[in-house]
């Protein structure tokens, strides 16, 4: 277990300069994620074109892991269909929680940087908050689920 | 033969000797000696407490107040003897005033439900401060919902201080209860509880002091303080978790109905009528945490072997040194700069989220608390989502604070 595994350059970079950070107006879906234990908060805003995520932005306050994960996520899912984005959510969920999950750099691209988190169980919630929020946004924009999500 | 004794030099507090009493302090974490700076959340246990609980579990366990057999009598004696030792520890008048509860949180809920709920009418007020732990906010919000009473919150200033005048100004004929911390868990501020209790008492306002953070750092004398209730948890004062004490003034406890019903809190039960047991048993329904009480008694005995004045003086030096070291780090801001503080420091570092700081420090073997410290209104006041908090016990060292400073500085370099 090494700190450098957790705080890889990609993570540090996306924490310092989060991509797709800010408001999105108008938005087709706005959903909040909250981790009551640590106080991390984020708001995801999405705009869809046909079935694809045309635009996605986030804002809020969180730690480096939470901020970088959200930033990487918005880059990764922009342009994806709902089904593709949900499939990626499942993949990342495994990556974060299952030690045996493969870290396929090519397929995951920059998202592979999140794999270091699984060595730090206390921080898995930080990395997964935005992904759970996204999954809920995608499902609720199809008429399922509540408009807020919590990783506690 | 040299039998010269210097009477001019005060006996230094022997930190190394005290540390040897705490087995966990010999651990290494991620290859580094443990620096345990999270005592505000829960303190560690000395061998004396561990041994007392072990002895009870191995040799004396049975249910209390019930059997005529030897083990039940031994367990009862151990349990009740511990109560007798708490009486002088907080300077209560009698053992009737010492009620065992699960912890500070349960103590406050007991007072909210048993004292406040039957008494409060719509328009009545409960006065707290902005510094309170959620455990001294939510039970009052619940009882306000139940009764139509109003929760009134006294302000703090930008140093995290509670001013006597600001609280006194909010005391009115509608105020039925003042509930405040003795020491703030998130900032370390020591509140002016003596003056507050005196002002409340002059107006006939009943007072509860949340002593969870004060009990390890300050001598507590409930008669000198003259409060009606004082609550604390054993695990903050080197005892086990899941056990705590509600001190209540006997005349007030007498008037209160039982909170929970069950065994041990009754004298007689029939389907027509039940009569309740005397104090303090009226408030101790069901089989209690016997080994926890034994451990708490042992913790108090063990504290009695220390020079507590010297121990507290050492804690003050740790606080002063930690404040100096941390304030020397660029971009670091100490949150809570009250003139009178217990030995904890809350802080934020520009560009480094407290949780990242917590992980990095942990890798260096340093345990601190990060988060909102169950005091979200305090975080909102200072407009921070969370802080890092280093909280000291008398077994901490200056060297551990040097390590804290070095590790925080390293974290800052990583992120900026």
Q: Could you say which of B356, B379, B385 has the minimum Cβ distance to residue A64?
A: B356
pLDDT class of B263 with cuts at 50, 70, 90:
confident
B201 occurs within a structural domain: yes
For the entire predicted model, the pTM comes to 0.93
Q: What torsion do the CA atoms of B391, B395, B398, B399 make, to the nearest 10 degrees?
A: -110
Q: Could you say which of A1, A39, A122 has the minimum Cβ distance to residue B386?
A: A39
Taking contacts as CB-CB distances below 8 angstroms, the residues of chain B near A65 are 355-356
Distance (Å) of CA B321 to CA B46, B100, B326, B328: 25, 37, 9, 11
pLDDT of residue B144: 98
Residues 6 or more apart in contact with residue A134 via CB below 8 angstroms: A44, A73, A77, A85, A89
Residues B120 and B205 in one domain: yes
The answer to whether the CB atoms of A39 and B415 lie below 8 A apart is no
How many CB atoms sit inside 10 A of residue B193's CB? Answer: 26
Chain A residues with CB under 8 Å of a chain B CB are 1, 3, 6-7, 12, 15-16, 37-41, 61-65, 67, 120, 122-123, 126
Number of structural domains (chain B) is 2
B5 occurs within a structural domain: no
User: For strand B369-371 and strand A40-49, is the pairing parallel, antiparallel, or unpaired?
Assistant: unpaired
Q: Could you say which of B353, B371, B415 has the minimum Cβ distance to residue A37?
A: B371
Taking contacts as CB-CB distances below 8 angstroms, the residues of chain B near A6 are 359
B178 occurs within a structural domain: yes
**Mean pLDDT, residues B67-79 taken together:** 95
Distance in angstroms (rounded) separating the CA atoms of residues B201 and B343? 29
Residue ending a domain, choose from B263, B281, B304: B304
Residues B76 and B186 in one domain: yes
Residues B132 and B216 in one domain: yes
Taking contacts as CB-CB distances below 8 angstroms, the residues of chain A near B352 are 64
Taking contacts as CB-CB distances below 8 angstroms, the residues of chain B near A122 are 359
Given a cut of 60, whether residue B377 has pLDDT beyond it is yes
pLDDT of residue B9: 46
- Phi, psi (deg, nearest 5) at residue B187: -120, -20
Substitution target from A16, A33, A39, A122 for chain B, most B beta carbons within 10 A: A39
Taking contacts as CB-CB distances below 8 angstroms, the residues of chain B near A40 are 355, 385
Nearest chain A residue to B354 by CA: give it: A63
How many CB atoms sit inside 10 A of residue B301's CB? Answer: 16
Residues B288 and B337 in one domain: no
Q: What torsion do the CA atoms of B69, B72, B76, B78 make, to the nearest 10 degrees?
A: 110
The answer to whether the CB atoms of A123 and B376 lie below 8 A apart is no
Q: How many CB pairs lie under 8 A apart between chains A and B?
A: 47
The larger pLDDT score, comparing residue B270 to residue B106, is at B106
Residues B342 and B360 in one domain: yes
B34 occurs within a structural domain: yes
- Closest-CA distance, B177 to chain A, in angstroms, reads 29
The answer to whether the CB atoms of A1 and B356 lie below 8 A apart is no
- Closest-CA distance, B372 to chain A, in angstroms, reads 7
B215 occurs within a structural domain: yes
* % of chain B residues with pLDDT over 70: 97
Residues B379 and B343 in one domain: yes
At B132-157, the pLDDT tens digits run 999 999 999 999 999 999 999 999 99
User: For strand B150-154 and strand B125-129, is the pairing parallel, antiparallel, or unpaired?
Assistant: parallel
The answer to whether the CB atoms of B371 and A38 lie below 8 A apart is yes
B290 occurs within a structural domain: yes
**Mean pLDDT, residues B2-22 taken together:** 73
- From B144, B180, B227, B374, the catalytic residue: B374
Residue ending a domain, choose from B242, B270, B304: B304
Query: Is B374 designated active site?
Result: yes
Residues B132 and B146 in one domain: yes
Residues B298 and B315 in one domain: no
Distance in angstroms (rounded) separating the CA atoms of residues B146 and B317? 46
Instruction: Please name the helix (run of DSSP H) or strand (run of DSSP E) that holds residue B348, with its range, or none.
Output: strand B344-349
B395 occurs within a structural domain: yes
Taking contacts as CB-CB distances below 8 angstroms, the residues of chain A near B370 are 38
Taking contacts as CB-CB distances below 8 angstroms, the residues of chain A near B360 are 3
Taking contacts as CB-CB distances below 8 angstroms, the residues of chain A near B376 are 39
Q: What is the number of residues in chain A?
A: 152
* Burial of residue A152, with CB atoms counted within 10 A of its CB: 0-12 exposed, 13-18 middle, 19 or more buried: exposed
Say which CATH number the domain at B329 has: 3.90.1150.10
ipTM value, please give it: 0.88
Distance (Å) of CA B164 to CA B137, B152, B176, B194: 19, 15, 18, 10
- Do B323 and B333 touch, CB atoms closer than 8 A? no
Distance in angstroms (rounded) separating the CA atoms of residues B55 and B301? 15
CATH 3.90.1010.10 holds for A3-141: yes
The answer to whether the CB atoms of A6 and B359 lie below 8 A apart is yes
Q: Could you say which of A41, A64, A123 has the minimum Cβ distance to residue B415?
A: A64
- Do B113 and B143 touch, CB atoms closer than 8 A? yes
What radius of gyration do chain A's Cα atoms show? Answer: 14
Residues B132 and B249 in one domain: yes
- Do B208 and B104 touch, CB atoms closer than 8 A? no
Q: Could you say which of A16, A61, A63 has the minimum Cβ distance to residue B356?
A: A63
- Closest-CA distance, B134 to chain A, in angstroms, reads 13
B289 occurs within a structural domain: yes
The answer to whether the CB atoms of B354 and A63 lie below 8 A apart is yes
pLDDT class of B266 with cuts at 50, 70, 90:
confident
Given a cut of 60, whether residue B8 has pLDDT beyond it is no
The answer to whether the CB atoms of B359 and A120 lie below 8 A apart is yes
Residues B181 and B291 in one domain: yes
Substitution target from B356, B380, B389, B410 for chain A, most A beta carbons within 10 A: B356
Residue ending a domain, choose from B280, B304, B328: B304
Residues B322 and B362 in one domain: yes
Distance of CA B71 to the CA centre of its chain: 32
pLDDT along chain A (152 residues), means of 10: 89 96 94 85 94 96 95 97 96 91 83 92 93 92 55 53
Residues B210 and B121 in one domain: yes
Given a cut of 80, whether residue B179 has pLDDT beyond it is yes
Given a cut of 70, whether residue B409 has pLDDT beyond it is yes
The answer to whether the CB atoms of A39 and B379 lie below 8 A apart is yes
**Mean pLDDT, residues B162-178 taken together:** 98
pLDDT of residue A99: 85
* Every domain of chain A and the residues it spans: 3-141
**Which residues constitute the domain of residue B60?**
50-304
């Amino acid at each position: 277990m090494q700190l450098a595994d957790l705080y890889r350059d990609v993570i540090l970079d996306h924490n310092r300069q989060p991509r797709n950070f800010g408001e999105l107006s108008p938005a087709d879906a706005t959903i909040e994620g909250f981790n009551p234990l640590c106080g991390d908060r984020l708001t995801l805003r999405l705009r869809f074109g046909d079935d694809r995520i045309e635009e996605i932005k986030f804002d809020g306050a969180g730690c480096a892991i939470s901020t970088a994960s959200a930033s990487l996520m918005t880059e990764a899912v922009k342009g994806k269909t709902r089904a593709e984005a949900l499939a990626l959510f499942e993949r990342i969920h495994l990556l974060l929680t299952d030690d045996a999950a493969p870290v396929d750099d090519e397929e995951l691209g920059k998202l592979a940087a999140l794999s270091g988190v699984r060595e730090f169980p206390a921080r898995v919630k930080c990395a997964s908050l935005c992904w759970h929020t996204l999954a809920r946004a995608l499902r609720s924009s199809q008429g399922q689920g509540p408009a807020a999500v919590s990783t506690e | 033969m040299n039998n010269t004794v210097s009477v001019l030099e005060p006996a230094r507090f022997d930190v190394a000797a005290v540390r040897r009493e705490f087995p966990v302090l010999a651990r290494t974490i991620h290859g580094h000696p443990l620096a345990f700076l999270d005592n505000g959340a829960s303190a560690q246990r000395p061998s004396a407490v561990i041994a007392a609980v072990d002895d009870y579990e191995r040799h004396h366990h049975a249910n209390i107040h019930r059997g005529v057999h030897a083990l039940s009598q031994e367990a009862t004696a151990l349990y009740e003897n511990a109560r007798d030792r708490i009486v002088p520890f907080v300077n209560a008048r009698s053992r009737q005033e010492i009620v065992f509860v699960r912890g500070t949180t349960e103590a406050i809920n007991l007072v909210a439900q048993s004292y406040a709920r039957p008494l409060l009418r719509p328009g009545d007020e409960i006065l707290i401060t902005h510094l309170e732990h959620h455990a001294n906010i939510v039970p009052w919000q619940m009882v306000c919902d139940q009764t139509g009473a109003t929760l009134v919150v006294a302000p703090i200033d930008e140093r995290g201080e509670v001013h006597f005048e600001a609280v006194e100004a909010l005391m009115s004929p509608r105020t039925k209860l003042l509930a405040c911390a003795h020491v703030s868990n998130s900032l370390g501020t020591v509140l002016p509880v003596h003056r507050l209790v005196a002002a409340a008492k002059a107006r006939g306002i009943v007072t509860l002091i949340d002593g969870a953070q004060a009990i390890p750092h300050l001598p507590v004398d409930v008669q000198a303080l003259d409060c009606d209730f004082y609550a604390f948890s054993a695990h903050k004062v080197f005892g086990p978790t899941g056990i705590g004490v509600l001190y209540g003034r006997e005349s007030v406890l007498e008037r209160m109905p039982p909170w929970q019903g069950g065994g041990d809190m009754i004298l007689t039960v029939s389907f027509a009528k039940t009569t309740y047991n005397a104090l303090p048993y009226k408030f101790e329904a069901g089989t209690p945490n016997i080994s926890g009480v034994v451990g708490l008694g042992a913790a108090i005995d063990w504290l009695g072997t220390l020079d507590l004045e010297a121990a507290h003086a050492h804690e003050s030096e740790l606080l002063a040194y930690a404040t100096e070291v941390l304030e020397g780090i660029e971009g670091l801001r100490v949150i809570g700069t009250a003139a009178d503080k217990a030995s904890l420091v809350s802080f934020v570092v520009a560009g480094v989220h407290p949780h990242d700081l917590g992980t990095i420090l942990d890798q260096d073997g340093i345990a601190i608390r990060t988060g909102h410290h169950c005091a979200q209104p305090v975080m909102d006041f200072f407009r921070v989502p969370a802080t890092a908090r280093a909280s000291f016990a008398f077994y901490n060292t200056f060297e551990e604070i040097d390590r804290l400073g070095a590790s925080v500085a390293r974290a800052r370099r990583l992120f900026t």
